Structures are given as C-alpha cells and as structure tokens.
Amino acid sequence: MNFKIKTGYRLNVAMIVLNNENESLFCKRRNTDNWQFPQGGVDEGENIKNAMFRELKEEVGLEKDNVEIKAVSKNLLYYDIPKNIRSRVLGGKYKGQAQVYFLLKLISGEIDLSLENTPEFDQYSWVPFWYPLNKVVDFKKEAYRSALIEFKNKII
C-alpha cells in the first residue's frame, strides 16, 4: 500500500471493528465527550498494516489474531484539524490527517481499555454501523461518511 500524502498531513490508520451483530466499535476519548473509531499515526518507515495492528493493540487491547481484515480503503481519507485546536493536537505540526481505513471483523478476544499504555479512551460501546456518523466531531464527519459508504457492501 503506497499512498501519496498531501503536504501538511500526517499518515494515520483508522479501524472500523465489527462484532458478530455487525455493530461498530465506538470509543470515547479520555476526559472528553468525543467519540471515535480507534485510530493512530503511522511511524516513519512503518508498514501501514503493521501500524494498524500496533494501534489496535495499543488503543483497545486487540491482537492480530482477534480480527480478520475485511477491507481496506482504496484511497486516503483526509480531515483538517480546526485551526483553533491545532496547537493542542499532534503538537501543531500538521493541518490534518490522511487516513487509511480498515474494516475489521472481531473473531475472538475482548476490548480492553485498562492497558497501561492506553491513555486514549475511557469507554467504548458497540453501536449500529451508521451511528458514528452522527456522533463524531464535525471535522471528521466527511472522512467517516466516505469510509462507511465504501465499506457498506462489505458487511457480512
């Protein structure tokens, strides 16, 4: 997977994890009222799939063997971080994120937000597939819409 990233954007992976009822894993960011899919940055020189598995483990405690990859977004999905909060997000180094979305099916294991290195989330919920689109922060809505539309026919 090689993607050309626009200048000023950070390469990022985002995971839509589905359970057996095809509900999506939706997580609440610690100390906020903001909910989102698990996501995280790709380190310099890191393989995108490896970054996704690393972030999945770090953020929600799932291992590679706990999920099956059902689909990967064909294109990068971008969102801009609002200027008034950029200095607090990613150290103000980026104007936004360029995301590769993964659609994952949970095949075993449990969500674990109590990991020592998991400061991101303090709550999670299994929600209907389209639900996150109405609850995510406004600046991420278009990326969410694009990913959900791309993956809607991949739900089994």
- What does the alpha-carbon distance between residue 92 and residue 37 come to, in Å, rounded to a whole number? 22
Residue pair 102/13 in contact by the 8 Å Cβ criterion = yes
Residue 85 confidence (pLDDT): 84
Domains of the chain, with CATH numbers?
Answer: 9-154 (3.90.79.10)
Spatial separation of the C-alpha atoms in residues 102 and 45, rounded to whole Å: 19
- Contact residues for 82 (Cβ-Cβ < 8 A; gap 6+): 139
Paired with 77 in beta bridges are 99
Q: Given a cut of 80, is residue 118 above it in pLDDT? A: no
**Residue 78: pLDDT over 80:** yes
In the block, residue with structure tokens 């996704």: 52
The single-letter DSSP state of residue 33 is S
